[in-house]
Copies of this chain bind each other. A is one copy, B any other.
Amino acid sequence: MQNEIDKARVLTEAMPYIRQFYGSTIVVKYGGSAMDDETLKEKVILDFILMKLVGINLVVVHGGGPHITDMMKKLGKEAVFIDGHRVTDDETMEITEMVLSGLINKKIVSLINKNGGKAVGISGKDAMLIEAVKKAGEQPSVDLGQVGEISKVNPELLLSLTRDGFIPVISPVGFGVSDGKTYNVNADTAAAHIAAAMKARRVIYMTDVKGLYAEYGDEKSFLESVDEAQIKELKKAGKIGKGMIPKIDAALYCLKNGAEKVHYIDGRVEHALLLELFTEAGIGTEIKL
């Protein structure tokens, strides 16, 4: 019995946090081990449903790069990356969309619904959620194909779904307004733009690292909290890896559009979301203006 009482006490300890986020919109970029590891996955899903039950308007944006590469292989097609972007010809785009919107998206939805949530899986093409334009390669001669940059987010569908109690799960595929083509968009950036359009309060990136470091590789330089000024310095000092830069820029973008904080948390930690939101622990790095 004492055990059960301890559990009840835990619930009441979470209360101030629950109250704090009641009615707030939180966008979670879901990916990495938290999405691929079977044990972790089950736990994240429970975290999602709990967040919704205690009054958070949860929006999930997922990635899925490795699965695309796998499917391309099965279909005898090799993945080519230039400057970190997957070169996306018509066939690659079709595979990408099929895998992201048809497989990964619906698996997340199923898992949430099986556990009692009410998820709805959509892509950025639904209700013109994500408008995109073709991204220019860094080298003028390079054509990245259907790699897109987000030009606008139309949040009506998300507002409608969250208001009616659903958890939107979004596949990072955009619609080319000028050419009607489908575009592969960066999931991190998509999460930030969606958060900005929805006036979200928090954005949480689930990654496979502990967070940000002032000196990459030096555990002691781990950053619990950074602000814009510090980020500028770190960038200047070359301390932020090239792959990390778009994520950091996305974070700054949504902070400037009304988000209170952006978190990078370690998705390899069980219940990382609940730890971050509902306990004193807090994990990972938080970014503020």
Does residue A113 face the partner (Cβ distance < 8 Å to B)? yes
Contacting B at CB under 8 A, from A168-192, are 173, 175, 180, 182
Inter-chain contact A121/B122, CB cutoff 8 Å = yes
Secondary structure at the A interface, as helix, strand, loop or mixed, is: helix
Interface residues of A (CB under 8 A from B): 1, 4-5, 7-16, 18-19, 22, 43, 46-47, 49-50, 53-55, 74-75, 94, 97-103, 105-106, 109-110, 113-114, 116, 118-123, 125-128, 156-157, 160-161, 164, 166, 173, 175, 180, 182, 269-271, 274-275, 278-281, 283
Which residue of B11, B54, B269 is within 8 Å of A10 (Cβ)? B11
CB distance from A13 to the nearest CB of B (A): 7
Inter-chain contact B101/A97, CB cutoff 8 Å = no
In angstroms, Cα B84 to Cα A105, docked, is 29
Inter-chain contact B126/A15, CB cutoff 8 Å = no
Contacts of A119 in B (CB 8 A): 126-127
CB distance from A247 to the nearest CB of B (A): 24
Please give 10 more A-B residue pairs, beta carbons under 8 A apart, in addition to A19-B53, A55-B55, A113-B125.
Answer: A1-B281, A1-B283, A7-B10, A8-B270, A8-B275, A12-B43, A53-B55, A101-B105, A118-B127, A120-B127
CB distance from A153 to the nearest CB of B (A): 14
CB distance from A43 to the nearest CB of B (A): 7
Inter-chain contact B5/A50, CB cutoff 8 Å = no
Name the residue in A8, A55, A100 with the highest tally of chain B Cβ atoms < 10 Å from its Cβ: A8
Contacts of A109 in B (CB 8 A): 125-126
Inter-chain contact A11/B102, CB cutoff 8 Å = no
Residue of B nearest to A123 (CB): B106
Inter-chain contact B7/A13, CB cutoff 8 Å = yes
Contacts of A173 in B (CB 8 A): 106
